[in-house]
Structure 1
């Protein structure tokens, strides 16, 4: 921590004062963390915390004894995701495995649906069961309600909704880990009723799922039936229009169909006859050309028509003759085989003769016949061509009507196929199965004593934590002396134990007491404030009365006097003096007498018997103490005394509510601020410090007084206030603890 040295108003000494802006500690310098602070708060309030915990656990036991037993029954189901396709046609719904979470969340919400609760209540007849309502209202529900036969439809509906709401309050849907299993729990005051409702719940859920699926297929089937009727009517109308048009135009269609029932192509009778007549004409032309060629050949060579035939017959006769001659060389002419050859040769001779006798007239007759046939076919073909050309314009409209008939037939057949598939859509495997039915529980699930006690303990811990936090924030008293540096930004110059002021003189005379050692540490710390040692003129003040500043001023004056330095103690608290109780025999004129000009300086300085310091008492209480302190006479008094004394200690009035201390702070080298532990509020102390800093007071540090056993958990106290003077061993243990 950086310090500044400023010239003292008396004696020219420089004193070390902590600058207000530089008194804040870094986090590394904090003596106690926030967690430790609250732990100390818990330790300091352990009795209240114990009472809160005990009361919480007692309430938990009382609640356990007064709570009506509740029985839980569980039924388990398996819900598998299936795609609700209406038909096998693709495109009805795309497979999406990423939507499993959405699907199961939907099923869980359906299990908690009010409509399902109403189904269960209706199946079990709970709307007419007065015992059911009495079980959930302490036996008084529906005590004066009308009998079932006299209830109106509105009353029945209201009771059904009320029963469904009661069931929903007791139902719990619990998915089993990362699986398709779901547990349905129902809790009620009756074991049998819990099992009954749990089983009915899962059964009605399965039935409701089937009903929804059947309703879906029924709606689709009704829609398709309507569309089929419309398409059937349209198909019949288009077919009638096609037939009527063909009849009116004289079109005889020869239409073929493919495997799907569509028209493969439109043919008419005229077109078919034209094709056949054209083929016959081609054959007739071929025959006429052949006959004409034969006729011309017969004119040029009379034997030409049969020359080829005769040549083949003659070749055959030559072969037979050669064979006959060969046989005659071996056998007689009457040999059977030779005789047969001779007969065949004679027959061939007759055929050759007949074939050679054909005339030219045969060729001409054949030609005339072929030409006549060709001419006839040409005449018929010309007539069919004229008829076909007339029908071609009619065939365009006929084709349009035929295409419309095909389109309507295809739509009708497609919807008819889907209608057939929908008929069996709801017959497939159900995606919901009941794995385990609910059994009647043998023991209640609630209340459970260990759980009640644990919950009560947790509630007690939370209440205790809230109490500690609120009390700590509201209290703001100084319990940890380290807060002087952490919260106020002041150096901690010493900690003083709580003592009986009647024994102060005795304890200060005994150098082995905690009180003496504490003030000795304060005197030592003060000796490091300036380059020449302890400050020459300083005052002790506090935020309010009775915080131990007068005792501290007296003790420091005694300890400074024991060093051999001339020390003067001035009681400037003229409204409420306490030094007269500590300094025996301090009577006579005091500070107020001098400030009003009634006496001289030498008249107010006293040397108490047995004390190593001089003292100026407060004197009679003046009506205007602040004006006296602010006077120039008080400044002159300090200037005069500072020439004769090495240390001047002033017991100043409290800061809050009075103007004396801020006025006095202008005339001294610095201020030692006294704070009473466990009582002094941090907020109040901050206000007092601000009042002192306004006139420019130099605050050396703080002195925390009246520590006792409540501060021991912070590392301070070590038995303070628990029997001083109880022996050498106790004093040594306390001193060792304080040094630690």
Structure 2
């Protein structure tokens, strides 16, 4: 029979009328559906938070504020032993924060207050001090071990309850201690800060002490090396007869001091004398060659004579003009001129001899000095060679002396700096006695408990969603079944017949939407023979079969409803009639259909009940009997709607599906698991049934998280038609 009408062809509309909602909408649907589980888990978590807060021991925190500087105040200007750090170097402060939590500080505090022997200290932190030999030394030789064990317990308690809170963008840090005793918190916090400052000073003193010890050893080594190098220099000078009379400083960019020797001073003096002798010889030669006597620069006597002759010559000239040559005055003047000329000639000769003698003396002196300088050159070169070696010894001694002086100065500076005793850590605010407990905080605990409850609820919901294979969301039907969703039938508390009798009810509107889609499901309209099946019993297939047949009959068509669920018939109960004879009788060979059909008052549809329950319903369905029944009914009715049995576990539904044109599959929302539904659909398809799609029944929109979006009565106040809206039809 399923070959009579072809399934939806190319001209049929898309049957996928319910698209998968967005992911966020799906998640919201899950939250609403599981809201009571989430509310319950969160409520239990909050209740647990309140109970835990009530039973928690009150804790008090007392903090001391410290200022940590990179460098302490400098009373004396002495370089630090530690390398300088950059201005924005955060490693320094991170190191200080780590040092604040060092075990050595805890040990210092524990020893200061003798906490290892304090029973009250352990009882304050909930340590059982009533156990045997907890605070008493045992007599079996393990006293030291037990005391060390108690001491380690104290160190762990101090470290676990210490709070280090740096103040952001500052040099301040708060160091606090948390305990059930406010006085103990104050005492430990202040003691911890004092211990930290003491440790800083001790570390600086230890570094200075180590530096002094190291420098003392190095100074002793350098002193011995300096003495050895100076002794070597002196021995070399004595053995080589090197006598230095002082030092001279050489100029230039890098000035240095050089030792002066006797040879160098001698040759310098001789060079100066030789230069002077050469100058004297050159001057004498120049005076001799230039005949300086004739130029009147030879002496005062010659000049005087020449002046007297000039006077006499003038007088003689005057007399010669006035008197004759034989005149006595003229003769006397002439004789006086002759005497003066002879005296001048004698003086000139004497002066010339003197210039020659001076020149010879200058030449001889120059030659003598030249010979001496040449003689000192050889000795000076030998002295230079020796002075080079001596300079090596001397530079070694000078270097050792410089290093020794530098280390000695640093040793003195460290000695001064170590005695100052200033720390780079300053207490800004000491710890006060706390007046109110810092914990437990009810609102914080409730927030944490609520967050933990939400996380636990999320995990539970995810686990339930992974375990739960029920299909609750209409948008998941096609994805999980690979079949189109033709309609969604809402859940109702009233009798389905009463709902169907009301044309404005939600269920009536839902089935009208289904009818509209059936009208366009094939090229010939609503299939004339249609079976309704499900995965299991109680999913609403009988109600769906009655609703489809009832609405078709109300449209003026002749419809018959056949109850083919012979194992568990329910149509007669739904309508309220007796089940005397029906489908099982016909399949058994009784073909008097007119006697079996029931026409009930108030129902527009005729009914063929299931009839007596046969021993094996599948045997009656094997063969052409069911197909013949449908064919026979189609001779008298326009539509035949068959209420088929569930398809899981029985062969009845596939056999019936093969005998009709099309099959509708009813699926209860949040009913059977998805894998069971897929198996049922596979059985129907494998049996040759022409599946039109799936109908979701008993859908509760309020529990699914969709609210009015999937509720009926949306928009017009009555029945929101999914099928019509999706198919493009008017409501």
- Report what 1:118 is aligned to: 107
Distance in 1 between the 2:163 and 2:192 partners?
11
Distance in 2 between the 1:569 and 1:540 partners?
11
Shift of 1:141: 6.2
| Correspondence 1:454 to 2:447 | yes
1:633–1:274 Cα change, 3 Å: same
1:310–1:738 Cα change, 3 Å: same
Query: Which residue of 478, 485, 490 maps to 2:484?
Result: 490
Shift of 1:485: 5.6
Distance in 2 between the 1:642 and 1:197 partners?
99
Answer whether contact 1:717 1:738 (CA < 8 A) is retained.
no
- Report what 1:400 is aligned to: 392
Matches within 5 A, 1:208-287: 208-256=199-247, 264-280=257-273
Shift of 1:258: 5.6
Matches within 5 A, 1:181-200: 181-200=172-191
Distance in 2 between the 1:389 and 1:259 partners?
20
Deviations 1:321-351 (A, max 9, x none): xxxxxxxxxxxxxxxxxxxxxxxxxxxxxxx
- Report what 2:653 is aligned to: 661
The range that moved more, 442-451 or 702-711, is: 702-711
| Correspondence 1:127 to 2:116 | yes
Answer whether contact 2:533 2:665 (CA < 8 A) is retained.
yes
Distance in 2 between the 1:84 and 1:658 partners?
97
Distance in 1 between the 2:507 and 2:298 partners?
171
- Report what 1:338 is aligned to: none
1:738–1:268 Cα change, 3 Å: same
For residue 674 of structure 1, give the secondary structure of its aligned residue in structure 2.
Answer: strand
Shift of 1:68: 1.2
Matches within 5 A, 1:11-90: 12=5, 15=8, 23=16, 26=19, 33-43=25-35, 45=36, 48-82=37-71
- Report what 2:90 is aligned to: 101
Distance in 2 between the 1:521 and 1:306 partners?
155
The range that moved more, 639-648 or 362-371, is: 362-371
Distance in 2 between the 1:141 and 1:251 partners?
91
For residue 573 of structure 2, give the secondary structure of its aligned residue in structure 1.
Answer: helix
1:697–1:193 Cα change, 3 Å: same
Deviations 1:599-641 (A, max 9, x none): 2263774224424333333344445433543423333333343
Distance in 2 between the 1:518 and 1:394 partners?
126
For residue 672 of structure 1, give the secondary structure of its aligned residue in structure 2.
Answer: strand
The range that moved more, 401-410 or 580-589, is: 580-589
Shift of 1:686: 3.4
- Report what 1:561 is aligned to: 553
Distance in 2 between the 1:163 and 1:456 partners?
31
| Correspondence 1:410 to 2:402 | yes
1:378–1:617 Cα change, 3 Å: closer
Q: TM-score, normalised by structure 2?
A: 0.77
Distance in 1 between the 2:258 and 2:710 partners?
118
Shift of 1:417: 3.7
For residue 78 of structure 1, give the secondary structure of its aligned residue in structure 2.
Answer: strand
Answer whether contact 2:64 2:430 (CA < 8 A) is retained.
yes
- Report what 1:689 is aligned to: 681
Shift of 1:235: 2.1
Q: TM-score, normalised by structure 1?
A: 0.76
Query: Which residue of 583, 604, 628 maps to 1:636?
Result: 628
| Correspondence 1:600 to 2:594 | no
Query: Which residue of 526, 539, 551 maps to 2:543?
Result: 551
- Report what 2:320 is aligned to: none
| Correspondence 1:161 to 2:152 | yes
- Larger RCO, structures 1/2 (Cα 8 Å, 6+ apart): 2
1:152–1:259 Cα change, 3 Å: farther
Deviations 1:528-549 (A, max 9, x none): 4345442211111111112121
- Report what 1:724 is aligned to: none
Distance in 2 between the 1:259 and 1:91 partners?
37
Distance in 1 between the 2:9 and 2:286 partners?
155
| Correspondence 1:202 to 2:197 | no
For residue 557 of structure 2, give the secondary structure of its aligned residue in structure 1.
Answer: coil
For residue 539 of structure 1, give the secondary structure of its aligned residue in structure 2.
Answer: strand
1:240–1:528 Cα change, 3 Å: same
Distance in 1 between the 2:7 and 2:279 partners?
151
The range that moved more, 382-391 or 126-135, is: 382-391
Question: Could you list the runs of 5+ residues in structure 1 that have no partner in the other structure?
Answer: 1-6, 319-351, 721-731
- Report what 1:321 is aligned to: none
- Report what 2:426 is aligned to: 433
Number of residue-to-residue matches in the alignment? 678
Shift of 1:152: 4.8
The range that moved more, 491-500 or 358-367, is: 358-367
What value does the CA root-mean-square deviation take over the aligned residues?
4.9
Answer whether contact 1:185 1:198 (CA < 8 A) is retained.
yes
The range that moved more, 601-610 or 246-255, is: 601-610
Distance in 2 between the 1:153 and 1:645 partners?
106
Distance in 2 between the 1:206 and 1:149 partners?
37
